[in-house]
A and B are shown apart, each in its own frame.
Chain A
Amino acid sequence: MSEAIKNRYEFVILFEVENGNPNGDPDAGNMPRIDAETGYGIVTDVCLKRKIRNYVETVKGDSKGYKIYIKDGVPLNTSDKSAYEYLGIKEEEAQKSKGEKDNQIRDFMCENFFDIRTFGAVMTTFVKAKLNCGQVRGPVQIGFARSIDPIVQQEVTITRVAITTEEDFKKKETEMGRKYIVPYALYRAEGYISANLAKNVTGFSEDDLQLLWEALINMFEHDHSAARGKMNVRELIVFKHDSEFGNTQAYKLFDIITVERKDKTRPARVYADYDVRVDVEKVPAEVQCLRMI
């Protein structure tokens, strides 16, 4: 495994949804999430993290060091019989105090599970307060994604001819159902990667970083379903700082990227309706701006 990352990063993702529901709101009968006051659509951080985990699980399978701890649905590897190798544990076991064991458990989990190395996790501990409530903070932090323009939630009523119960079958021929879609929306999510947490806590490496970029670019490619419609990542813009602590304020970098609708009188329906500008001149010399797509 390669070394832990040595640079601070910030990133911006732009993704689109066409005739789909990017993230349902359990409080609103699974309608697309919306900020009720402004009408902007929202996709939660945990929704995007789920996609990243699923992508890594899809491409990496069960290979060593890339297991996923928080699994979605029935796991693929119920027949997993491979024992984990963890160096030196046996002989040292006897004289280890329980406090040191907590740290060993943390290191073991970080080494084997990509999602814990990336996003962190909460674990129970043997010794109270040894791991700060068992909390492991990962280097990657993602905020809520918000749409560029207010979204329209459209209700689509559908019918089906297959009736669930026999009793209903005697009374009617079709059943009605409904789904909610957003005709089109472009969302923007912002994220941060701390080199210090990578170096001192979880060991998130350069290889992991490449896999994360790949996962962010392809996170919707393996997530097609009746509810989602057409979703695509359109931009992944990465700011690489020269140092661990960073070289400039994150908000200044985020302000460099502006996304605007070209024709304000017409609702947007395709990506080409938006104008994405990256003001490269405003990027400080110590920061590298990379367009990954």
Chain B
Amino acid sequence: MGYGIYLETWGDYALFARAEMKVERVSYDVITPSAARGIIDAIYWKPAIVWRIDKIHVCNPIEFTNVRRNEVSSKISARSVDSVMNGATKPLYINTNEDRQQRASMILKNVHYIIKAHFELTDKAGETDTIEKHYNIALRRMRKGQCYHQPCFGCREFPANFRLLEGDVPESGLTGEKDLGYMLYDMDFTDPENIQPVFFRAVMHNGIIDLSAREVVR
């Protein structure tokens, strides 16, 4: 665990949709470990490594706001694209006036987290993949503000600012113990044909959610 990092990340809005409320989306109270991993993956990731989230520090009070937007209700159909590719002449588009639904989102406001994470090598790691190498690349990217793509808080319209935290971790303004109930831990991708969600019981103690001793349930 000598190769852990602290990443500070903050933004105006965030939406970590609860698995059970996806139509009218409602965010979890705090960032999920899977979203935190997504933020770090956006900065640096290779198939040779896998990021593990150890702790999440919640710095700001938990505040919600509501946004309702017009959204389209269908996806692009692979079958109709395929037929057009093969010379069919049917129109290929989604008409937003006919194919529309209004969906509300309960989103978080003014979020600020400190994520403690480390990575492990996977079985895809080759001979040249040393821990030091990946650790140094990750550090360099975080220090310089470089990223593969801009990380976000749950949805791409809520961009996440980030910087490497070196030195002391500031104390959270939140105190006491709060049980946040069952939260999504991550998706289990071991079988790509059948991706399964994994949950854990989130307890926040003085603003810190410790994931190192978490017990996951399916």
Contact = CB atoms under 8 A, between A and B. Distances in A.
Interface of A: 25-27, 33, 35-37, 42, 44-46, 50, 67-75, 77-78, 80-84, 86, 89-90, 93, 101-102, 104-105, 108-109, 121-126, 128-129, 134, 137, 139, 141-144, 146, 190, 192, 194, 196-197, 243, 245-252
A248 B70 contact: no
Interface of B is mostly: mixed
Contacts of A109: 76, 81
A144 B14 CA distance: 11
A123 B78 contact: yes
Contact of A81 (B69, B89, B93, B162): B89
A129 B85 contact: no
Contact of B96 (A27, A67, A70): A70
A90 B85 CA distance: 9
B76 A126 contact: no
B130 interface: no
A229 B69 CA distance: 21
Given A71-B96, A197-B149, 15 more contacts: A42-B67, A44-B69, A50-B96, A68-B93, A70-B93, A70-B94, A71-B93, A74-B97, A80-B89, A82-B89, A129-B195, A146-B12, A245-B141, A245-B146, A249-B161
B128 interface: no
Interface in B99-152: 102, 104, 141, 144-150, 152
Nearest to A197: B149
B157 A45 contact: yes
Interface residues of B, number: 51
Given A123-B81, A126-B78, A192-B159, A75 B91 contact: yes
Contact of A105 (B13, B82, B97, B195): B82
A37 to B, nearest CB: 8
Contacts of A84: 84-85
A73 B70 CA distance: 13
B70 A26 contact: yes
B85 A108 contact: yes
B76 A69 contact: yes
B145 A122 contact: no
Given A89-B86, A124-B75, A246 B146 contact: yes
B79 interface: yes
B77 interface: yes
A192 B76 contact: no
B68 interface: yes
Contact of A129 (B67, B76, B163, B193): B193
A129 B192 contact: yes
A286 B97 CA distance: 45
Contacts of A141: 149-150, 152, 156-157, 159
Contact of B150 (A123, A129, A250): A250
A50 B97 CA distance: 12
Contacts of B95: 71, 73-75
Nearest to A130: B192
B200 interface: no
Contacts of A81: 89
14 contacts: A42-B67, A44-B69, A81-B89, A83-B84, A84-B85, A90-B86, A105-B82, A134-B75, A139-B149, A141-B157, A141-B159, A192-B159, A245-B141, A248-B145
A169 to B, nearest CB: 30
A89 B152 CA distance: 36
A230 to B, nearest CB: 23
A100 B4 CA distance: 38
B212 interface: no
